[in-house]
Homo-oligomer: A and B are copies of this chain.
Amino acid sequence: MVKRTRFDDESCPVARSVDVVGDWWSLLIVRDAFDGSHRFGDFQRSLGVAKNILSTRLRALEDNGILEHHGRDYTLTAKGEALFPVIVALRQWGEAFAFEPGEPHSQLLDRRHHQPLKPLEIHAADGRRVTSGDTEVRKVP
């Protein structure tokens, strides 16, 4: 294993999140948990990774409070459930930019009307829609 650069001593919440989630593809475990995977075998079939690597990632997600397991069932904790906007944001970006026109891909639908969700929008506290150019980072002194 390559030693991963750690950013968790930083004061930036983005860097902290990157560290707490761990590996990039651990997000795909989280995605699978949202999509109904509960058992080790579910994750393994979906991700096609070696058992020992999957075990390590599942344990790291548990250690970081994102997953918990009861018996043989893995479920998202509240902290894990709170990653839903991250998954939705990645999904919508992927849909927009990572497929050829007409190339088939899975879709996340509203269960009631079976329609794709609304694209994420960023709003200021007063409700105005903002883009990155309307924002600024206040650094910690």
Q: Which A residues fall within an 8 A CB radius of B?
A: 1-2, 5, 7-8, 11-21, 23-25, 27-28, 31, 34-35, 47-49, 65, 79, 81-99, 104-118, 120, 122-128, 130-132, 134-141
Q: Given A115-B125, A125-B116, is A18 in contact with B90 using a C-beta cutoff of 8 Å? A: yes
CA distance A82 to B83 in the complex (A): 19
Which residues of B are found within 8 Å of A94, using beta-carbon distances?
Answer: 12-17, 20
CA distance A15 to B25 in the complex (A): 8
CA distance A66 to B85 in the complex (A): 21
Q: A15: which of B8, B28, B65 is its contact (CB, 8 Å)?
A: B28
B140 touches A106 (CB 8 A): yes
CA distance A96 to B115 in the complex (A): 30
| Contacts A/B (CB < 8 Å), 5 sampled | A7-B28, A13-B93, A14-B87, A14-B90, A106-B137
CA distance A14 to B25 in the complex (A): 10
Q: Given A117-B130, A118-B127, is A98 in contact with B17 using a C-beta cutoff of 8 Å? A: yes
Q: How far is the CB of A104 from chain B (nearest CB, A)?
A: 4
CA distance A132 to B93 in the complex (A): 18
